[in-house]
Amino acid sequence: MTGADELLLRELTPAVIGVLVRRGVDFATAEDAVQEALLQAALSWPDGRPADPRGWLVTVAWRKFLDAHRSEVSRRAREQRVEDEPPPGPAETVDDTLALFFLCAHPSLTPASAVALTLRAVGGLTTRQIAAAYLVPEATMAQRISRAKRTVADVRFDRPGDPATVRRVLYLVFNEGYTGDVDLAAEAIRLTRELAGRARDEETAGLLALMLLHHARRPARTRGDGILVPLPEQDRSRWDTALIAEGVGILQAALARDRLGEFQAQAAIAALHADAPRAEETDWPQIVGWYDELLRITGSPVVALNRAVAVGEADGAAAGLAALSDVDPGLPRYAAASAHLHEKAGDLAAAARLYADAARSAPTVPERRHLTGQAARVGQALRT
Partner 1 sequence: MAKYLLLKHYRGAPKGVNDVPMDQWTPQEVEDHIRYMNDFAARLEGTGEYVDGQALSPEGTFVRFDGEGRPPVTDGPFAETKDLIAGWMIIDVESYDRALALAGELSAAPGAGGEPIHEWLELRPLMGTPPTVTE
Please tell me whether residue 135 binds partner 1 under the rule CB under 8 A: yes
Task: Determine the residue type at 67.
Answer: D
- CA-CA distance, 239 to 256, in Å (whole number)? 26
Scanning residues 213 to 272, which ones bind partner 1 (CB under 8 A)? 214, 228, 231, 266, 269-270
Measure the CA–CA gap between 383 and 375, rounded to whole angstroms.
Answer: 12
39 touches 9 (CB < 8 A): no
Q: Say whether residue 42 binds partner 1 (CB under 8 A).
A: no
Q: Does residue number 340 form part of the binding site for partner 1 (CB under 8 A)?
A: no
Smaller CB separation from partner 1, 60 or 265: 265
- Note whether 366 binds partner 1 by CB under 8 A: yes
Does 183 bind partner 1 (CB under 8 A)? Our answer is no
Let me know: does 119 contact 130? Beta carbons within 8 Å: yes
User: Which member of 130, 132, 210, 339 binds partner 1 (CB under 8 A)?
Assistant: 210
SS3 228: strand
179: contact with partner 1 by CB under 8 A: yes
Q: Decide whether 194 or 313 has the Cβ nearer to partner 1.
A: 313
Nearer to partner 1, 91 or 136 (CB): 136
Q: Applying CB under 8 A, does 305 fall inside the site for partner 1?
A: no
How many of the chain's residues bind partner 1 (CB under 8 A)?
A: 39
Q: Between residues 22 and 214, which has the closer beta carbon with respect to partner 1?
A: 214
For residue 290, the minimal CB distance to partner 1 (Å) is 12
Nearer to partner 1, 21 or 339 (CB): 339
Stretch that binds partner 1, among 6-14, 19-27, 110-118, 150-158 (CB under 8 A): 110-118
Could you say which DSSP state residue 75 is in?
Answer: -
Q: Which one of the spans 26-34, 176-184, 315-323, 339-347 is the region binding partner 1 (CB under 8 A)?
A: 176-184
Output the DSSP codes for 199-251. S--HHHHHHHHHHHHHHHHHHHHB-TTS-B--GGGS-GGGS-HHHHHHHHHHH
Is the Cα dihedral 222, 224, 226, 229 positive or negative? negative
Residue 251 CA to residue 192 CA, distance in Å, equals 14
Say if residues 254 and 206 touch (Cβ distance below 8 Å): yes
**Cβ-based nearer residue to partner 1, 231 or 345:** 231
Length in residues, the chain: 384
Maximum alpha-carbon separation in the chain? 86
Q: What is the CA radius of gyration of the chain?
A: 24
Q: Is 334 in the site for partner 1 (CB under 8 A)?
A: no
Q: Using CB under 8 A, pick the residue from 10, 106, 144, 167 that binds partner 1.
A: 144
Q: Can you give the binding site for partner 1, defined by CB under 8 A?
A: 110-113, 116, 134-137, 139-141, 143-145, 147, 174-179, 185, 210, 214, 228, 231, 266, 269-270, 273, 306, 362-368
